[in-house]
Structure 1
Amino acid sequence: MDGVGGDGATVAKPLNQWRHHLWMFYQSYIDKITPHAVYRWIGAFILGSFYALRVYYAQGFYVVTYCLGIYILNMLVDFLSPIDDPELEPSDGPLLPTKGSEEFKPFIRRLPEFWFWCVITRAFCLAFVLTCFSTFNVPVYWPILLCYWIVLLYVTMRRQILHMIKYKYVPFDIGKLTYGFKKTVASSSSSCAV
């Protein structure tokens, strides 16, 4: 009876160690690429291009692509939305300022940029793997899916932009404001020398 339990434990222990080492490698890689946003997005764009080429040359997997497009659209809406949405939580907690006299509260996204990149990259990887199985190549007339997705994109983005206008927030950081300094130091120092 001890041998049966002991064999299962000896097999599970190396498997758990291997899984732990794989997770640690993945986490250290994610920690290294976190500050490099431009390179991360370039990599996601390249991955998306590979997926687009795969679908183009396979002449199929349009339903997988449509589902990928809807998923990315939902993640984009979360990326553009504030964490404290006034429409979802009326007067419970802090709200976005709607008047110039109200207190400034910084824009905090519902889905941060890093996690937005993560979910898009994982979605492209999953969709690419799904193109390896003919089961997911459902025959469908793709122009209808494309038209429906474009209409969905228009309606969703229109609603999101109207929400931004209504509650007066901009979800993008343009950067730190800098003010131009005149070279008054140089002109004053030259006048002192005379």
Structure 2
Amino acid sequence: MEGVSGGASDASANPLAKWRIEFSRAFQYYLDRSTPQPVGRWLGTAGLALIYALRCYYLKGFYIVSYALGIYLLNLLIGFLSPKVDPELEVMDGPSLPTKGSDEFKPFIRRLPEFKFWYSTTKAFCIAFCMTFFSVFDVPVFWPILLCYWIVLFVLTMKRQILHMIKYKYVPFSIGKQLYNQSRLELVRTPCDDDDWNC
């Protein structure tokens, strides 16, 4: 029993540990509150990306950091656009993407959910921004070559991803809620209203 009470007194006696716990709780609280606000979250990340781009532009450097950031963001985007269960890689006994029109409808589940995609993107911009304060990361390099290489990599990767979407007939985006008209049994896409209890 003494070990348990002694550990609690050590945590309360150490102000750094107490501050860390309080900061972690506050951070998690605001992270949880931001979850249902995707537009606000992405606008904040866009603002952070703009600040990072302006800092690199005015410093005229840190091209390697920007290139690494671009590669990491491309990797995140591929995870965001890919299904959780890739039909090319795994044969699953459970639910998978339908490959024919007669197959049963299965919802698209992302390999990287939107919230984790946003969180990882924001964290990457924060880390890259902090790296611009250390001159050791400002490696002199001819930046047009890096930019051309990244563009070629982006185009080839997106081409492969789009061909994968066409082959397995899935779209990673949905706009509005799918509703079926009872009289003609046709699919109607409508935006979901907050006051509509059927949404």
TM-score, normalised relative to structure 1? 0.85
> 1:172-192 deviations in whole A, cap 9, x for unaligned?
0111135789xxxxxxxxxxx
**Matched position secondary structure for 2:32:** helix
Corresponding letter in the other structure for 2:63: Y
Structure ranking higher in strand proportion? 2
Partner deviation per Cα, 1:90-125 (whole Å, 9 max, x = no partner): 244322101111111000000010110000000000
**Is residue 111 from structure 1 mapped to residue 117 from structure 2 by the alignment?**
no
CA distance in 2, matches of 1:143, 1:135: 21
Structure 2 match to 1:120:
121
Structure 1 distance, partners of 2:27, 2:118, is 15
Matching residue of 2:83: 82
Q: What SS is found at the alignment partner of 1:177?
A: strand
| Alpha-carbon distance between aligned partners in 2 of 1:12 and 1:159, rounded to the nearest angstrom | 56
- Deviation of the 1:169 alpha carbon: 0.3
1:95 maps to which residue?
A: 96
CA distance in 2, matches of 1:74, 1:103: 30
Indicate the SS of the match to 2:156. Answer: helix
Distance in 2, Cα, partners of 1:142 & 1:21: 43
Cα distance between partner residues in 1 of 2:117 and 2:61: 27
Pairing of 1:21-170 with structure 2 (within 5 A): 21-170=22-171
CA deviation after TM superposition for structure 1 residue 11, in Å = 8.8
How far apart are the structure 1 equivalents of 2:61 and 2:11?
A: 45
Length-normalised TM-score, structure 2: 0.83
Partner AA of 2:87 in structure 1: P
Taking only the aligned residue pairs, the percentage that are identical comes to: 63
- Once residues 157 and 39 of structure 1 are traced to their aligned partners in structure 2, the CA distance between those partners, rounded to angstroms, is 27
RMSD between superposed Cα atoms in Å: 2.2
Q: Which has the higher contact order (CA 8 A, sep 6+)?
A: 1
Q: Which has the larger radius of gyration?
A: 1
Q: Which amino acid aligns with 1:23?
A: S
Q: What count of residue pairs does the alignment treat as equivalent?
A: 176
Counterpart contact for 2:12–2:18, Cα < 8 Å:
no
In the TM superposition, residue 16 of structure 1 has moved relative to its aligned partner by: 2.0
Give distance in 2, aligned partners of 1:171 and 1:105: 13
Once the two structures are superposed, residues 7-53 of structure 1 have per-residue CA deviations (whole angstroms, 9 ceiling, x without a partner) of xx479733222111110000001011111110110110010000000
| Structure number with higher helix proportion | 1
